[in-house]
Chain A
Amino acid sequence: MATITAEPMSDARPLTAASHGERNPQSLVFLILLWLSLAFGLLVLAVLLVTTFLDGLPRMDSALFTNYASQLNPETAGARAAILGSALVIGVTALMAIPIGIAAASYLEEFASRKSRFAKYVELNVQNLAAVPAIIYGMLAAAAAVAIGLQRNTVLAGGIALALLILPVVIVSTREALRAVPQEIRQGSLALGASPMQTLQRQTLPAAIPGIATGTILALSRAMGEAAPLLLLGGLVFVQFDPNGLLSGFTTMPIQIFNWAGRSQEEFQQLAAAASIVLLVLVIAMNGVAIVIRNKFSNPR
Chain B
Amino acid sequence: MTDPTTTPPVDSPVPTFSDLAAEQHPTLDPTGEPTVDPTSTITTRRPEPIDAGRIELSEAPRAVLSCTDVSCYYGAFRAVNEVTMDIGVHEITALIGPSGCGKSTILRALNRMNDLIPGTRVEGTIAYHGMDIYAKDVDPIEVRRRIGMVFQKPNPFPKSIYDNVAYGPKVTGMKVSNMDDVVEQSLRDAALWDEVKDKLKQSAYGLSGGQQQRLCIARTIAVKPEVILMDEPCSALDPIATARIEDLMLELRDDYTIVIVTHNMQQAARVADRTAFFTAEAAEGNGDRTGHLVEFAETTKIFSTPSDPRTEDYISGRFG
List residues of A whose CB falls within 8 A of some B CB: 113-115, 182, 184-195, 198, 202-203, 206-207, 300-301
Contacts and interface: CB of A to CB of B under 8 A. Distances in A.
Contacts of B118: 113-115
Interface stretch (B5-13, B78-86, B145-153, B303-311): B145-153
A300 B205 contact: yes
A192 B168 contact: yes
B171 A193 contact: yes
B216 interface: yes
Task: Sort chain B's interface into a size bin.
Answer: 20 to 34
B158 interface: yes
Nearest to A181: B158
B149 A185 contact: no
Contacts of A114: 118
Contact of A193 (B144, B157, B205): B144
A190 B113 contact: yes
Contact of B220 (A191, A195, A198): A191
Nearest to A115: B118
A184 B113 CA distance: 12
Contact of B219 (A115, A182, A192, A202): A192
Given A193-B171, A193-B223, A188 B151 contact: yes
B179 to A, nearest CB: 15
Contacts of B142: 193
A130 to B, nearest CB: 26
Contacts of A207: 158
Contacts of A190: 113, 116, 141, 144
Given A187-B151, A207-B158, A192 B172 contact: yes
B155 interface: yes
Contact of B172 (A113, A186, A194, A301): A194
The 6 residue pairs across chains A and B that have the minimum distance between CB atoms: A193-B145, A184-B155, A191-B149, A192-B168, A194-B171, A188-B155
A293 to B, nearest CB: 16
Contacts of B223: 192-193
